[in-house]
Structure 1
């Protein structure tokens, strides 16, 4: 059953004449008759009583006409929705973002929502591990995450920026005026770090191990704002990406070492259809935050 056949059927019903319907539809009468006959054969019931050149609907035709009209109307509505989707007047995108990018991403989100107010956006913050798992389950259109490991062949990667790893300390700390600090010195400090499920702490555990250092980890907390509150006391310090630091009461000190930079990437499924809204949001992210590296 094709929409074309439904349109032919409804026009014949409206005019009660195959010849007139064919003229309006700009097709031959034989084509119209053939298409309606195919529709009747598929439904296994006659839709018209044919009396000479005059036609009338059968009981089945009367019943079917309501459903045919609904089908055409729904299809037309679908065309309008797709047109709106293409023009970014409707749609929904779901994104996963690491906690370290919440500040920068919020700026992008505000700018995008102002530009495309009819697009519904769902943002989920999480760890790199959790976000990648959900992306592979098709729960996100894309994620913004750290990535240094071997690239998976089914994923598409776009480097957004390189983030410096920094020691975060209280502005009143004796360390606050330092422009940089060595990993050896960091290992001697009392540290409150992100929870072990976070990519950042895994990165530093490996970095400390490579130098045979045993850091003084006093606390592990799975909430960045709480870490800041702990650091503000001046008794503890933390290690984070510089993208997550914007509190005036703390200072970010660059950690020395060529490996103290991490890639933050936009990651998506290679085979997934890229919505126009997703493409626009990724472009906005890149334009607002990408750094030369």
Structure 2
């Protein structure tokens, strides 16, 4: 049994689509099928039931999946430990980031790439839910995101900085000279909101829950850059964390004055999991960046 075969099997088991799995693995579908057949022959069991319409795991296939994932994770951990011994001269660091965290990350990415030119960075921008799934599957080494409304088993959330939900407007907007706004104030303006499921939207929905407020929502988007482009070119208002517009002089962030308005930027890791030296170094650089320097947390040095 080869690790390559286990990797092929796990990818096929997760997608239940041999064509899609082959694309993800950058191999031909015939190669994937051949390797799966060889694995089945060695194990003496059938792992998949395939017909012209669907692919399903057999009972044996379902039973093998968790063990195969653990084996691949253990093998990857061995590679990472050996890479660490080489003093950050080689290796890969996989980072999950929510869309609204991007401005906080940029400075550190540039610094890390200059300092460690032979460490490859893979940065995945996705929703919180998608990133937590990737973290559990060990597809990313850590996730940068705001603290979720509900805790998750097996995941530790380390506080990096505190921020707050803000109304975002262009400098010439009627609200631009204000330092803060109320939830009631926002009823007078057209809104462009982040899509449901994005963290700023979750925080906003939680804030207004149970209140008799009537907002004029013109558009919902899951792309923060487009939201900000709308704000910069119209009198529309969006709602994001103050940290999301860090360093952007073309917009103004007005604090929404309401209890429960705080948002906490966190680094999310798997509990009791091995932490790569490259991850530790990246997080140190992040904590020393201008965006979060004043809110540095000592746990990162551990």
Tell me the TM-score range normalised by the shorter chain: 0.5 to 0.7
- Relative to structure 1, the CA distance from residue 162 to residue 190 in structure 2 (aligned partners, 3 Å threshold; closer, same or farther) is same
TM-score by length of 1: 0.68
Partner of 1:234: 234
The whole-number CA distance in structure 1 between the counterparts of 2:92 and 2:170 is 41
The whole-number CA distance in structure 2 between the counterparts of 1:149 and 1:189 is 27
Per-residue CA deviations over 1:35-91 (Å, capped at 9, x if unaligned) read xxxxxxxxxxxxxxxxxxxxxxxxxxxxxxxxxxxxxxxxxxx99x93664411111
The whole-number CA distance in structure 1 between the counterparts of 2:174 and 2:151 is 41
The whole-number CA distance in structure 1 between the counterparts of 2:274 and 2:159 is 20
Unmatched runs of 5 consecutive residues or more in structure 1: 1-77
In 2, are the aligned partners of 1:93 and 1:141 still within 8 Å (CA)? Answer: yes
- Relative to structure 1, the CA distance from residue 285 to residue 210 in structure 2 (aligned partners, 3 Å threshold; closer, same or farther) is farther
The whole-number CA distance in structure 1 between the counterparts of 2:197 and 2:155 is 22
Partner of 2:151: 151
In 1, are the aligned partners of 2:160 and 2:295 still within 8 Å (CA)? Answer: no
The whole-number CA distance in structure 2 between the counterparts of 1:146 and 1:155 is 14
Partner of 1:164: 164
How many residues end up aligned between the 2 structures?
215
Kindly indicate whether residue 216 of structure 2 is the aligned counterpart of residue 216 of structure 1: yes
Partner of 2:270: 269
Partner-residue secondary structure (3-state), 1:121:
strand
How far is the alpha carbon of 1:183 from its aligned partner?
A: 1.2
The whole-number CA distance in structure 1 between the counterparts of 2:206 and 2:157 is 24
Counterpart mapping for 1:68-147 below 5 A: 82=82, 85-147=85-147
The whole-number CA distance in structure 1 between the counterparts of 2:89 and 2:264 is 33
Kindly indicate whether residue 258 of structure 2 is the aligned counterpart of residue 257 of structure 1: yes
RMSD: 2.2
Per-residue CA deviations over 1:114-148 (Å, capped at 9, x if unaligned) read 11111111001111111112111111000001114
Partner-residue secondary structure (3-state), 2:184:
helix
Between stretches 136-145 and 195-204, larger displacement belongs to 195-204
Per-residue CA deviations over 1:1-42 (Å, capped at 9, x if unaligned) read xxxxxxxxxxxxxxxxxxxxxxxxxxxxxxxxxxxxxxxxxx
The whole-number CA distance in structure 1 between the counterparts of 2:83 and 2:207 is 51
How far is the alpha carbon of 1:287 from its aligned partner?
A: 2.5
Per-residue CA deviations over 1:169-199 (Å, capped at 9, x if unaligned) read 1211111100111111123321001112312
Structure 1's consecutive aligned runs of 4 or more residues displaced over 6 angstroms after TM superposition are none
How far is the alpha carbon of 1:227 from its aligned partner?
A: 1.0
Per-residue CA deviations over 1:256-285 (Å, capped at 9, x if unaligned) read 123211011100111321111111111221
Between Structure 1 and Structure 2, whose CA radius of gyration is higher? 1
